[in-house]
Structure 1
Amino acid sequence: MIAGVVLAGGVGERMNSSIPKLFHNLLGKPIIRYVLENLSGLALNKIIIVVKSDLKEKFQYTCGDDFVYVVQDKPLGSGDALKRAIPELENFSTVLVVNGDAPLITTEILESLISSHNADNVSATVLSTVIDDPMHYGRVVKDELGNVIRIVEAKDATEREKNIKEVNTGAYCFSVDDLRLVIDRMTNNNAQGEYYITQLIEILSSMGKRVNSYITDLGSLALGINSRFDLSLAIEKLLTEKMEELMQGGVTIVSPENTYIEPDVRVGRDTVIEPFSVLKGNTFIGENCTIGPSSYLLNVDIGDRCDVFYSVVKNSKIESDVRVGPFAHIRDGAIIKSNAAIGDFVEVKKSIIGSHTKAMHHSYLGDADIGERVNIGAGVITCNYDGKNKHKTIIEDGAFIGSNTNLIAPITIGRGAVTGAGAVVTKDVEPDTVVVGVPAKILRKKEEGGKGE
């Protein structure tokens, strides 16, 4: 059986932040979530997360209950963190060890690392990468047969070793039996007084155990996120991958360098994403849509053939053949039915806008259920809040709400009813009835004087 261990106890001082490093946002998700998703794609029998004691509850809240949490009481280095996980490795033959700050080491790379480890029948396998300027990273030192004999830090390296370009990423596979043999042989004879996993590689080699490396082509991106600059590089990498995925799937992105799209966003073919658009969360966009320019979408479900431009849409559903914008704000809980139109400076919150209904100018529609083929004039307000509670407005099919009408909820406007411009409607209006004034009063029934519009 194979277990995974995530070392998640690092402080992350170089982030210069009050937020623990692994909880920093990377395209809409904490860094640690990417690492766990990559591990969850493997056939692992257990995933163990080693955390600081004061962050255990935060990890459990963020990551869920599918993992085993082990506490490292004091930050005594990566080797000590791995040692804390040893009791959880009973009956396991292999353990995969990764850092919690390395979100770009994908499932495929980790799968290849495990396969290489098993095929070579070695005690340990180091995931390494090659970079032109290794800087301060640990060099992977090999013997003449290509076996890893140690990992040396730059400050301790000889001139020959400093020229080595293969560096350690901090991910490993170990034989659990061999790991148990050496885990207590680590020492903390260093300036920091800490125990390092890299010591285990040298100890295994000195015992005649074979250690190999598996080289990934990620380069410096495999080395984890240790600073805001590293975070920006990871964002750039994931954004590029997402853009390429969508474009290969038939989506036009007019200006990829000026577009932000998070990994979980899905977009149908022949949709066009205009510049300066931001697509976040679990957003789904159908086919033949135009999004943007300058639109912000968060957790939105959009049908086919929709246009959303210069607008903000959050936690809402838009059916097919809908036009939104410019400068509209569709808020939480809104449902815009097919062939509806929401125009400039219209705000919709927790409301249903019926099919073929139009609200084209300067209106607020909150806590409303609006039927089909309703006309919402400029400046219409559903007055849904009385200072204590929110109340519902119902506008039935075919109603005509005149400009600058205030609808004082709770209220129902009947089918085919009409409100005059500037009306303040405080009572329900029966179907096919025309009301005007402040407060609004019945002018006539529509059948008495024609359409009444």
Structure 2
Amino acid sequence: MENNVGSIAVILAAGAGTRMKSRKPKVLHEICGKPMLQHVIDQATILKTEKTVVVIGYQGESVKETIGNTVEYVYQREQLGTGHAVMQAQSYFENYKGNVLLLYGDTPLISAETLKKFIQYHEDKELHTTVLTAEVEDATGYGRIIRNAQGQVEAIVEHKDATEEQLKIKEINSGMYYFNAELLNHALSKINNDNNQGEYYITDVIEILNKEGYKIGGYVVENDAEIQGINSRVQLAEAENYMRKKINEHWMDQGVTMLDPHSTYIQKGVSIGQDTLIYPGVHLEGETTIGTECTIGANSRIVSSTIADDVEIQYSTILNSTVDSQAKIGPYAYIRPNSHIGEGAKIGDFVEIKNATMGKGSKASHLTYVGDAEVGAGVNLGCGTVFVNYDGYKKHKTVVGDNVFVGCNTNLIAPVEVKEGAYIAAGSTITQEVPSKSLAIARARQVVKEGWVEKRNTKEK
């Protein structure tokens, strides 16, 4: 942030949000994979504010636990208005020579780009306080911005207190402000709760400073969607759609192809390389990274995983894992946490991998479970191979060396090791080490009883 003086962000997040009809605090409801409060904190972080202070109240401990220690917290024990909420953070700016940026934890769509323009406007006009405003067609319920002949903000009039003439005003108050910290301290000492609600309003600060002759400006936001507060599940869904559209447009601008952006769900922490093709119904979540020239097939879900270049994924789920370049996953594969799929490996249909590595060029083409295992390079796991990793009490590991061939319908009973270049006959149950370049057969010898069916049928008669 290229302002001449520092700034502190104060984010109000103490309300319960009763219209959400939820047991958890409103500000912890997620949009595109992050709590709405976190989105606001992220924007303050981009601005490089000197400190971010979050005012919490309802289920404050839950908010702290979710958001973590990247910000400072103060409590608003009683909900006595926005002015009262700001007073709770006053110890952080009462001797501060910079500015205070006031934000709200339930306005997750506000962008750092807009806030930078807002602050720059404040500085260019040499204002003492600036209000972030918006011009809307339907201003019902919003406080109206009253400007004087010079265009400065003279007052903010609540809808219920506005005259017929004032109700025609389309410019509304977002509730976000940029204050000179010294003047904010001064005005907070003068506001009172002499009103029907018995609350302290931050809008009173504007009235006080205006009467004392200070310059108060209003910066009109370019996109009024950014100031929308979230008070209901309907508004939560609308915000999700808005942010998802922005995210998808960003990645398409970066060279990613989406066959149907409307049905593609990409969270904020995701990164995608150029010339990757994304089919409809894909969900990319958490801190996922997708490389270049990948194909992510329809209805795939990838969570907090790293996918290298030129990977093909079809109708599959990948969780907290790594997939190396040129690997092919799916259809209908399930890659569970802590798995690593090597370069050029093939994980086919109805194959499940859990806490395991598959080496370069190895294949598990269908109907196989690989759990708690280390599989080398060039390994072929036949259809129906099962890594039996649980003895009823704890999990055990299986190690399969390079260039091993495992026949269909084989059980590997952990802990066990199959060494490099070995073969395992189909239908075997392996309980002991298989030496390098040997053939293991662990099944009953086939017995054929000719004429058995006729004898059985004769007995039944």
Partner of 2:387: 382
Partner of 1:236: 241
TM-score (norm 2): 0.92
- Which amino acid in structure 2 is aligned with residue 143 of structure 1? N
Does structure 1 retain, via aligned residues, the 8 Å contact 2:417–2:433? yes
CA-based RMSD of the aligned residues comes to 1.6
**1:402 CA displacement:** 1.1
**1:220 CA displacement:** 3.8
* TM-superposition CA deviations, 1:44-103 (whole Å, max 9, x none): 222211111751x33333333332211111111110011112221113332111111112
- Which amino acid in structure 2 is aligned with residue 79 of structure 1? G
Q: Which residue, 141, 155, 158 being the options, matches 2:163?
A: 158
Q: Which residue, 430, 438, 442 being the options, matches 1:433?
A: 438
Over 3 Å counting, the alpha-carbon distance change for 1:121 and 1:104 in structure 2 is: same
TM-score (norm 1): 0.94
Q: 1: distance between equivalents of 2:287 and 2:281? A: 19
- Which amino acid in structure 2 is aligned with residue 58 of structure 1? S
Partner of 1:223: 228
**1:436 CA displacement:** 2.0
User: Are residue 138 (structure 1) and residue 143 (structure 2) matched?
Assistant: yes
Does structure 2 retain, via aligned residues, the 8 Å contact 1:425–1:438? no
User: Are residue 257 (structure 1) and residue 262 (structure 2) matched?
Assistant: yes
Q: 2: distance between equivalents of 1:331 and 1:111? A: 42
Q: 2: distance between equivalents of 1:147 and 1:262? A: 40
- Which amino acid in structure 1 is aligned with residue 268 of structure 2? P
Q: Which residue, 416, 424, 429 being the options, matches 1:424?
A: 429
Does structure 2 retain, via aligned residues, the 8 Å contact 1:424–1:438? yes
* TM-superposition CA deviations, 1:2-41 (whole Å, max 9, x none): 2211111122111111110111111111111111110111
User: Are residue 274 (structure 1) and residue 287 (structure 2) matched?
Assistant: no
Q: Which residue, 308, 332, 342 being the options, matches 1:327?
A: 332
Does structure 2 retain, via aligned residues, the 8 Å contact 1:425–1:439? no
Q: List gaps (5 residues or longer) in structure 1.
A: 441-453
Q: 1: distance between equivalents of 2:247 and 2:272? A: 11
Q: Which residue, 205, 209, 220 being the options, matches 1:204?
A: 209
Q: 1: distance between equivalents of 2:198 and 2:434? A: 79
Partner of 1:447: none
**1:263 CA displacement:** 1.8
- Which amino acid in structure 2 is aligned with residue 189 of structure 1? D
Partner of 1:410: 415
**1:299 CA displacement:** 0.9
Partner of 1:67: 71
Q: Which residue, 69, 77, 85 being the options, matches 1:81?
A: 85
**1:327 CA displacement:** 0.5
Over 3 Å counting, the alpha-carbon distance change for 1:120 and 1:400 in structure 2 is: same
Q: Which residue, 124, 148, 155 being the options, matches 2:153?
A: 148
Partner of 1:127: 132
- Provide the secondary structure at the position in 2 that maps to 1:161: helix
Q: Which residue, 366, 373, 376 being the options, matches 2:378?
A: 373
- Equivalences for 1:265-344 in 2 at 5 Å? 265-344=270-349
Q: 1: distance between equivalents of 2:270 and 2:297? A: 15
Partner of 2:456: none
Partner of 1:116: 121
Over 3 Å counting, the alpha-carbon distance change for 1:439 and 1:301 in structure 2 is: farther
Over 3 Å counting, the alpha-carbon distance change for 1:415 and 1:72 in structure 2 is: same
- Which amino acid in structure 2 is aligned with residue 76 of structure 1? L
Over 3 Å counting, the alpha-carbon distance change for 1:439 and 1:149 in structure 2 is: farther
- Equivalences for 1:12-27 in 2 at 5 Å? 12-27=17-32
- Provide the secondary structure at the position in 2 that maps to 1:421: coil
**1:439 CA displacement:** 7.4
**1:376 CA displacement:** 0.5
- Provide the secondary structure at the position in 1 that maps to 2:274: coil
Does structure 1 retain, via aligned residues, the 8 Å contact 2:111–2:226? no
Partner of 2:397: 392
- Which amino acid in structure 2 is aligned with residue 139 of structure 1? R
* TM-superposition CA deviations, 1:232-279 (whole Å, max 9, x none): 222112211111111111111000011101122111111100011111
Does structure 1 retain, via aligned residues, the 8 Å contact 2:368–2:383? yes
Instruction: Identify the range of structure 1 (29-38 vs 207-216) with the bigger mean alpha-carbon deviation.
Output: 207-216
- Which amino acid in structure 1 is aligned with residue 392 of structure 2? G
- Provide the secondary structure at the position in 2 that maps to 1:5: strand
Does structure 2 retain, via aligned residues, the 8 Å contact 1:129–1:220? no
Aligned length: 439
* TM-superposition CA deviations, 1:374-412 (whole Å, max 9, x none): 111111100001111111101111111111111100000
* TM-superposition CA deviations, 1:127-175 (whole Å, max 9, x none): 0011111121111111222121211121221111111111111100112
Instruction: Identify the range of structure 1 (24-33 vs 412-421) with the bigger mean alpha-carbon deviation.
Output: 412-421
Does structure 2 retain, via aligned residues, the 8 Å contact 1:53–1:71? no
**1:214 CA displacement:** 0.6
- Provide the secondary structure at the position in 2 that maps to 1:404: coil
- Provide the secondary structure at the position in 1 that maps to 2:219: strand
Does structure 1 retain, via aligned residues, the 8 Å contact 2:396–2:415? yes
Partner of 2:454: none
Q: 2: distance between equivalents of 1:44 and 1:221? A: 20
Q: 2: distance between equivalents of 1:243 and 1:381? A: 40
Instruction: Identify the range of structure 1 (224-233 vs 269-278) with the bigger mean alpha-carbon deviation.
Output: 224-233
Q: Which residue, 85, 100, 106 being the options, matches 2:105?
A: 100
Misfit runs of 4+, over 4 Å? none
Instruction: Identify the range of structure 1 (177-186 vs 297-306) with the bigger mean alpha-carbon deviation.
Output: 177-186
User: Are residue 187 (structure 1) and residue 167 (structure 2) matched?
Assistant: no
**1:313 CA displacement:** 0.4
Does structure 2 retain, via aligned residues, the 8 Å contact 1:271–1:288? yes
- Provide the secondary structure at the position in 1 that maps to 2:89: helix
User: Are residue 356 (structure 1) and residue 361 (structure 2) matched?
Assistant: yes
